[in-house]
Amino acid sequence: MKEDKFWSVTVVHLVWLPSGIDVFKEFIESYKQYHGGYEHNLVLLFNGVKAVEELVQYREFAQMKNVVYKSFHQKKGWDLEVYRWVASQIESKYVLFLNSYSRFLNDNWLAHFMNAAAHPNVGIVGATGTYHSIYSMIRYETRKNNQSRISFKDKFRRYKLIIKNIFLYRFWFAPFPNPHIRTNGFLIERELFLNLTFISIKKKYDAYRMESGRNGFTQQIIKKGLKPLVVDKNGEIYEIEKWKKSCTFWIGSQVNLLISDNQTRKYLEADHQQKKFFTFMAWGC
């Protein structure tokens, strides 16, 4: 069913039910704490719904917090799959997609996204971006360790991964640097998003291909002559070559991060050596 009112931007928050009610509550608390600074329609996209009765506690909490929203639900589907489906059900020029673990960290979060989108030739605006390459990291990981110290079973798994990387993953994923916008929070024109080419997402690596593959959504947008930008909590915008300097993902203390998620929080909770490795994966240094 189409919405009865046109909004210039719809904020879609994916609610993955297996992640639990507490995760949902944390999002709602951040949504109430930080003002978006831009008029919008909020959609709660419930995913992993086995029975509609499961939604009662979520709706009751949103009502208790005086959150105005529309809702849709799906039985299952990977994030980008259900994003595409809900984009076909709503009417707005822009959509800001947020995953289950996304949390706002500053006021004017939507105003910052919209200001960035207003720049010339912008195709997508993300809260985080990275140069990470699955293909390059598998090469690094399978070369660095001393194989004489691991079991035969682990050696077999490693050789299997090496073969997949050579004959499959290198065709799916570009080597480092492989710039792409992460899907924890990104703004895009709805029609542009619907016109992107989607592969059938049946497993985890299919989802990775859509996010960071050679023909993933960021690369498709670049091929159209449009820019992928990162925006920080202060509204500063960064083109690809300056993403690292944005200090938003897996570097320093992520001081300028606008929208956190489970991956940015994992980095903050890591020890010094783990953080160094995360930074190496994201930025090669």
pLDDT 10s digits, 139-165: 998 887 655 566 767 777 888 889 999
Average pLDDT over residues 117-136: 97
Residue 2: band (very low, low, confident or very high) from pLDDT cuts 50, 70, 90: very low
- Rounded to whole angstroms, the Cα distance separating 186 from 99 reads 10
Using CA of residue 23, residue 29, residue 32, residue 35, what is the dihedral sign? negative
Helix (H, G, I), strand (E, B) or coil at 55: helix
At residue 244, what are phi and psi to the nearest 5 degrees? Answer: -60, -40
> What's the mean pLDDT when you consider all of the chain?
94
219 sits in the region (left: phi over 0; alpha: psi -120 to 50; else beta) called: alpha
Q: Check: CB of residue 282 under 8 Å from CB of residue 251.
A: yes
Length of the chain: 285
- Domain assignments of the chain as residue spans, ordered by start: 7-130+176-283, 134-172
Distance set, CA 18 to CA 23, 46, 58, 246, 263 (Å)? 10, 10, 13, 32, 18
Q: Check: CB of residue 114 under 8 Å from CB of residue 152.
A: no
Amino acid 182 reads R
Residue 111: band (very low, low, confident or very high) from pLDDT cuts 50, 70, 90: very high
- Rounded to whole angstroms, the Cα distance separating 67 from 12 reads 14
Kindly give the pairing relationship between strand 7-16 and strand 41-47.
parallel
For the domain made up of 7-130+176-283, the CATH class stated in words is alpha beta
Average pLDDT over residues 30-55: 97
| 1 pLDDT higher than 70 | no
> pLDDT tens-digit profile of 71-89?
999 999 999 999 999 999 9
| 104 pLDDT higher than 70 | yes
Q: What is the pLDDT of residue 156?
A: 75
Q: Which of 230, 235, 205, 209 is nearest to 220 (CA)?
A: 209
DSSP state at residue 214: T
Q: What is the pLDDT of residue 45?
A: 98
Q: Check: CB of residue 145 under 8 Å from CB of residue 119.
A: no
Q: What is the pLDDT of residue 3?
A: 41
| 284 pLDDT higher than 50 | yes
Average pLDDT over residues 58-73: 98
Q: What is the pLDDT of residue 145?
A: 60
Q: What is the pLDDT of residue 5?
A: 43
Q: What is the pLDDT of residue 155?
A: 75
- Rounded to whole angstroms, the Cα distance separating 257 from 233 reads 6
Average pLDDT over residues 178-194: 97
- Rounded to whole angstroms, the Cα distance separating 276 from 282 reads 10
Average pLDDT over residues 203-227: 97
